Amino acid sequence: MSMRIRVLGLACMAALFLAGGARAAQTVKIGFPLELTGEIPKVGESSKFAAEMFKEEINAKGGLQVGDKKYPLEFIYEDNEARPESAVNVTLKLIERDEVIAVIGPQSSRQAVPAGGVANDNETLMISPWSTNPDTTKDRPWVFRAAFLDPFQAPVAANFAAKQFNAKTTAVIFEISNDYSKGLADNFKDAWTKRNGKDSVLAFESHGPKDQDFSAQLTKIIALKPDFIFLPENYSFAALIIPQARDLGYKNPFMGSDAWGSAELMSLCGDACKGQFFSTHYAAAGARGATKEFIDKYTKKYGYVPDDLAALTWDAVRLVTQAIQAGGKVEGNIRDIRRIVRDKMAAIKEFDGITGKMSFDEQGDPIKCAVVVEITNDGQFSFKESVCP
Amino acid sequence: MRCGMPAVFPAPAPRRAPADHEKGSLMESFIQQCVNALQWGSFYALIALGYTLVYGVLRLINFAHGDIFMVGAYIAFFLSTGMLAEGGMFGFSRELTLALTVPLTMLLTSCCGVTLERIAYRPLRRKGAHRLYVVITALMCGLILENGNLALLGASRRALPELLDKRIYSLGGIAVTNLKLLVIFTAVLVFVFLHGIVTRTRIGMAMRAVSYNRFALPLMGIPLDSVIVFTFVLGSGIAGLGGVLFAMSYPVLEPYMGAMTGWKAFIAAVVGGIGDVRGAFLGGFLLAFVEIMVAAFLPSTFRDLFAFSILLLILWKRPTGIFGMPLTTKI
């Protein structure tokens, strides 16, 4: 009896395996190691929604035109739990077991920097839509991104804050274990001291990944009376830090970075975040052309305005599919296909995305504009200023 | 001893000598940090009390306790959003919502704690399993609660609606909100209440008796199981109360919120002398003071490193904690 079950099981497994192998030849597989759970789940959700919308659109037309044949898209989503070690594992799984042609994600630099190493070592094209830390793509010919870099974002935030708040001094709170937060904080400190002199960053405070109380750091900062506080933090921390600072009697403004730009920020932060500014990739309010078309479609489908994650993921998926189409080949040895796709990706010089026009440098980093948005009283992120390199 | 802690690790020498008015503001910020520590310590104390109660009675480290605290915060979230006027079912005012949320959350969280005891710990105890296995079971229960929540409610964070009109009182450079005062006041009140129960009442005497000799107790006609259930009701109820207050003070709820806070509260209970109500209470505040003062007067990067090194030193001097007694095993 048990022998028969075992044989049956083996047969089933073999059948599945064969079916999987047979299917793999006919679809275009792209892997998404995303932050679906963990501390920034909305990041993963937005990215997945945008990718699903793209896939449905293409598959409704019969698939992606590669050469003279159409292949349906197959997107595989894996949860990296917003943890660096999980990001490495799931990226490896996508590359080795699922044999994807390319990887899109992880989104946050904390995950994208280690995952980029894995993709590069395994010679698979990876695009991180949202990661802004230079290390993600640095000296990694197989890794690209769709977002601007922190060394560019930091002076944008610094110059804007200096002008808008008429500020001379600042203080920074960042998350010590997050490559994104730490890197941006360092870049900002450099940019600000270059502009306003050596001692103009009054405090440079950090916290851990699970902290919920920031009163010690805030009390220290508030006693030094900075003109504003820079928070290069994930939205969930911004939503905790800002109300706590107000409770401790802080009245000056905050300046944020692109990690604030989640659709979930306002539901967590509420009134405390209104009137604050942050630098980001695109502004949904007042968009035109293809960007507006995307926003309308997404809003209709999912019921909320897409955040920058969704827009950047959309651009990244378009970049990858464009490279695959340019390669003209999806059947055969996966290693060869990956190499062709990566070469075609590197050959893209100009790209007109919904987050703006971009051109790529030799590191695989786009040169594109940043925007500064204001959080209005009705919770919208409204366009304030655009800064181009 | 606790307030003297920063003197051991003085602030890094400032680049220039502080002027007179800066000394004043230094004092102010020190007092402000003490207030911060009192508030943060209240949460540690409330959770640590639950750890210590269960340990004191059963010699069981209930590692699921931090997650029971998380369940309390979520129960408070659902109760208050359900009851509040905007979009809620009943349309109660904020004051009424708060007044109902607190006891109901405590009640429901107690039920959660008792359920755990019923389905996880009691069967093991009946079979005479070694304490180690019960502790591991507790760890697993904690993980089940976390991941069950994740599966049930998704990874999205929730924000508790504001239940209290926030008022900020400022005195010189020191700012205190009415919520912080409420938190500190509640923690002290709970401690006094609990200490009273354990030392002054018959059921308290029974609890101490269980901890003294669990096997002789039934011979004296004391219902062992009821005493244990009562202990879980008390501990979980207090965790629920802590959950409500925590969700009001730090209104971003997520499934893993109880894990780290719970572990730290457990450390606080151990440093205070686990098994002793006074120890848990003081341990909670001690841990918060050390954490906050380290972050305040040293680079905040080293916060946990220094904080826990100090606690290690305390345990090194007093391995059984501040109030702990050396335990001699009988049998």
3-state secondary structure of B218: helix
What residues of A are in contact with residue B252 (Cβ under 8 Å)? 212, 236, 239-240, 268
Which chain A residue shows the shortest CA-CA distance from B178?
A247
Instruction: Looking at the structure, tell me whether residues A176 and A88 fall in a common domain.
Output: no
Which residue from A340, A366, A336 is spatially nearest to A351, judged by alpha carbons? A366
What pLDDT score was predicted for residue A241?
Answer: 95
pLDDT at A179 over 90: no
Question: Is A16 inside any structural domain?
Answer: no
Mean pLDDT to the nearest integer, A32-55: 92
What pLDDT score was predicted for residue B89?
Answer: 66
What pLDDT score was predicted for residue B4?
Answer: 39
pLDDT at B2 over 90: no
What ranges make up the beta strands (E) of chain A?
Answer: 28-34, 64-66, 69-71, 73-79, 102-104, 125-128, 143-145, 170-175, 201-207, 228-231, 254-256, 277-280, 350-353, 356-360, 366-367, 370-375, 381-387
What residues of B are in contact with residue A215 (Cβ under 8 Å)? 33, 36, 39-40, 292
pLDDT at B273 over 70: yes
Look up the domain containing B247 and give its range. 39-164+178-317
pLDDT digit string, tens, across residues B39-64 = 999 999 999 999 999 998 888 889 99
**Given an 8 Å threshold on Cβ–Cβ distance, is B300 in contact with A212?**
no
CATH number for the domain harbouring residue B184: 1.10.3470
- Split into its structural domains, chain B has a count of 1
What pLDDT score was predicted for residue B22?
Answer: 58
Mean pLDDT to the nearest integer, A258-277: 89
| Sign, CA torsion B216/B222/B226/B227 | negative
In this predicted model, which residue has the larger pLDDT, B211 or B194? B194
Instruction: Looking at the structure, tell me whether residues A167 and A137 fall in a common domain.
Output: no
Which of A280, A313, A346 is the endpoint of a domain?
A280
Which of B156, B257, B260 has its CB closest to that of A264?
B156
Mutate to test the interface with B, among A83, A207, A213 (most CBs of B within 10 A): A213
Question: Is A50 inside any structural domain?
Answer: yes
To the nearest whole angstrom, how far is the Cα of B196 from the nearest Cα of chain A? Answer: 31
pLDDT at B161 over 90: no
Distance CA A266, CA B8 (A): 43
**Given an 8 Å threshold on Cβ–Cβ distance, is A41 in contact with B170?**
no
Distance CA B47, CA B70 (A): 11
Which amino acid makes up residue B123? Answer: P
What residues of B are in contact with residue A249 (Cβ under 8 Å)? 168, 170, 173, 175
What pLDDT score was predicted for residue B129?
Answer: 87
What pLDDT score was predicted for residue B331?
Answer: 32
**Given an 8 Å threshold on Cβ–Cβ distance, is A37 in contact with B155?**
yes
Instruction: State the DSSP code for A141.
Output: T
Q: What are phi and psi of A112, to 5 degrees?
A: -70, -35
What pLDDT score was predicted for residue B303?
Answer: 85
With an 8 Å Cβ cutoff, is B301 touching chain A? Answer: yes
Instruction: Looking at the structure, tell me whether residues A112 and A223 fall in a common domain.
Output: no
pLDDT digit string, tens, across residues A200-211 = 999 999 998 888
Instruction: Looking at the structure, tell me whether residues A79 and A137 fall in a common domain.
Output: yes
- Distance, first Cα to last Cα, chain A: 71
pLDDT at A324 over 60: yes
What residues of B are in contact with residue A177 (Cβ under 8 Å)? none
What pLDDT score was predicted for residue B10?
Answer: 43
With an 8 Å Cβ cutoff, is B300 touching chain A? Answer: yes
What pLDDT score was predicted for residue A282?
Answer: 87
Mean pLDDT to the nearest integer, B137-158: 91
pLDDT digit string, tens, across residues A78-100 = 999 999 999 999 999 999 999 99
With an 8 Å Cβ cutoff, is B148 touching chain A? Answer: no
pLDDT digit string, tens, across residues A96-154 = 999 999 999 899 999 999 999 999 999 999 999 999 999 999 999 999 999 999 999 99
pTM, two decimals, is 0.83
Which of A252, A280, A308 is the endpoint of a domain?
A280
Quickly state the pLDDT bin for A13 (edges 50, 70, 90). Answer: low
To the nearest whole angstrom, how far is the Cα of B276 from the nearest Cα of chain A? Answer: 27
Question: Is B28 inside any structural domain?
Answer: no
pLDDT digit string, tens, across residues B220-241 = 888 989 999 999 999 999 999 9
To the nearest whole angstrom, how far is the Cα of A83 from the nearest Cα of chain B? Answer: 13
What pLDDT score was predicted for residue B214?
Answer: 79
Instruction: Looking at the structure, tell me whether residues A247 and A141 fall in a common domain.
Output: no
User: A interface toward B at CB cutoff 8 Å?
Assistant: 36-39, 41-42, 44-45, 176, 205-208, 210, 212-213, 215-217, 219-220, 222-223, 236, 239-240, 243, 246-249, 264, 267-270
Mean pLDDT to the nearest integer, B89-102: 85
What pLDDT score was predicted for residue B82?
Answer: 86
Mean pLDDT of chain A: 89
Distance CA A370, CA A198 (A): 27
Which residue from B256, B303, B320, B273 is spatially nearest to B40, judged by alpha carbons? B303
What pLDDT score was predicted for residue B286?
Answer: 94
Q: Report the percent of chain B where pLDDT is more than 70.
A: 89
Instruction: Looking at the structure, tell me whether residues A166 and A109 fall in a common domain.
Output: no
What pLDDT score was predicted for residue B212?
Answer: 82
**Given an 8 Å threshold on Cβ–Cβ distance, is A236 in contact with B296?**
no
Question: Is B18 inside any structural domain?
Answer: no
User: DSSP letters of A336-359?
Assistant: HHHHHHHHHHHH--EEEETTEEEE
In this predicted model, which residue has the larger pLDDT, A285 or A297? A297
What pLDDT score was predicted for residue A364?
Answer: 86
Mutate to test the interface with A, among B32, B35, B84, B164 (most CBs of A within 10 A): B32
What pLDDT score was predicted for residue B19?
Answer: 53
pLDDT at A237 over 60: yes
Instruction: Looking at the structure, tell me whether residues A196 and A300 fall in a common domain.
Output: no
pLDDT at B304 over 90: no
**Given an 8 Å threshold on Cβ–Cβ distance, is B156 in contact with A42?**
yes
Instruction: Looking at the structure, tell me whether residues A195 and A301 fall in a common domain.
Output: no
Quickly state the pLDDT bin for B302 (edges 50, 70, 90). Answer: confident
- Split into its structural domains, chain A has a count of 2
Cβ–Cβ < 8 Å for B206, B222: yes
What pLDDT score was predicted for residue B173?
Answer: 78
The ipTM assigned to this model is 0.84
> Residue ranges of the alpha helices (H) in A130-227?
150-164, 179-196, 215-223
Which of B156, B168, B300 has its CB closest to that of A205?
B300
**Given an 8 Å threshold on Cβ–Cβ distance, is B159 in contact with A267?**
yes
What pLDDT score was predicted for residue A144?
Answer: 94
Distance CA B47, CA B241 (A): 9
Cβ–Cβ < 8 Å for B50, B58: no
Instruction: Looking at the structure, tell me whether residues A274 and A294 fall in a common domain.
Output: no
> Residue ranges of the alpha helices (H) in A1-66?
2-24, 41-60
Distance CA A252, CA B183 (A): 27
**Given an 8 Å threshold on Cβ–Cβ distance, is B300 in contact with A243?**
no
Distance CA A281, CA B149 (A): 33
In this predicted model, which residue has the larger pLDDT, B271 or B4? B271
What residues of A are in contact with residue B40 (Cβ under 8 Å)? 213, 215
pLDDT at A68 over 50: yes
Question: Is B323 inside any structural domain?
Answer: no
Instruction: Looking at the structure, tell me whether residues A155 and A275 fall in a common domain.
Output: yes
pLDDT at A25 over 90: no
Look up the domain containing A346 and give its range. 28-148+288-368
Which of A280, A313, A344 is the endpoint of a domain?
A280
pLDDT digit string, tens, across residues B106-124 = 999 999 999 999 999 999 9
Of the ranges A173-177, B284-288, B298-302, which one carries the lowest mean pLDDT score? B298-302
What residues of A are in contact with residue B159 (Cβ under 8 Å)? 239, 267-270
Which of A176, A206, A212 has its CB closest to that of B250?
A212
With an 8 Å Cβ cutoff, is B290 touching chain A? Answer: no
Question: Is A1 inside any structural domain?
Answer: no
To the nearest whole angstrom, how far is the Cα of A214 from the nearest Cα of chain B? Answer: 9
What pLDDT score was predicted for residue B93?
Answer: 83
Question: Is B160 inside any structural domain?
Answer: yes
Which chain A residue shows the shortest CA-CA distance from B23?
A223
Instruction: Looking at the structure, tell me whether residues A73 and A121 fall in a common domain.
Output: yes
CATH number for the domain harbouring residue A191: 3.40.50.2300
Question: Is B286 inside any structural domain?
Answer: yes
